[in-house]
Amino acid sequence: MAGTVPVMTISIDLTGRVALVTGGARGVGRGITERLLSAGAVVVVCGRSAPDPGALPHGVEFRTTDVTDAVAVNELIDAVVAEHGRLDIAVNNAGGSPGTGAATASPRFSEKIIALNLTSALHVAQAANRVMQGQDTVGSIVNVTSLSGLRPSPGTAVYGAAKAGLISLTTSLAMEWAPKVRLNCVSAGMVRTELFEQYYGGPEGAAAVEATVPLGRVASPADIGDAVTWLSSDLASYVSGANLVVHGGGEQLKFFDHQTG
């Protein structure tokens, strides 16, 4: 029929691209790994200790690496390029922190939390950028951050400060390394990982917390994986220096209860 607009199917195809996911064997990282893999990417994951045999999806390569060690990170990137010929996507997912009051946190504890959640991402980004700047396509670096970097984070203050720093670092590097490399953040809200119920005191506590999310549920690791995969794809080719907040609508505000009765 004349004038009919052709229907176009939008899909994400990462076939032929090589991705590195730090901390990609479990939790949020596992969701990212599976989504990148399903989009056709070759996926390499790293962590401090190897997963059980057969625990990773078929075809995913694991490399033991301490990402807080800059020398080890550069060796990792060089090994990935030697094996696969290139590196197109780097996802800084490794991170986390136990709950600790800021008044009693030791200097060593604080330094380790900053190293894991901020400095390690810089190490990986620098090593990835070194490779990506010399390739014929635009590379993508995605930093997984947290709502803790956007609002007060009592009990994990140093972690929140590190994540806030990672958001700032991302915007600066996006300007410095353009146009050959795009850098973006995904700031995750609550995610139902293996430790979710334990963190909130069991099934009842977890359910009570989940009920506060406007969309009625916390994120799955795959939800974060979808956001990372989109930012890594050509569909986001004009997106750099952005912080994509994935939190199901936000956190419940106490004053809203009084407003609504």
Question: Which residues are identified as catalytic?
Answer: 159
| CA 3 to chain CA centroid, nearest Å | 43
Burial code (b: 16+ CB inside 10 Å, e: under 16) for 30-56 equals bbbbbbbbbbebbbbbbbeeeeeeeeb
Provide the β-strand partners of residue 44: 20, 61
Tokens 């009570």, residue located: 208
Positive or negative, the CA dihedral 129, 14, 49, 76 is negative
Q: Where are the alpha helices (DSSP H) in 85-156?
A: 107-114, 120-132
Structure-token pair, residue 80: 């990935």
Q: Which residues contact 58 (CB under 8 A, 6 or more apart)?
A: none
Q: Are 186 and 244 in contact (CB under 8 A)?
A: yes
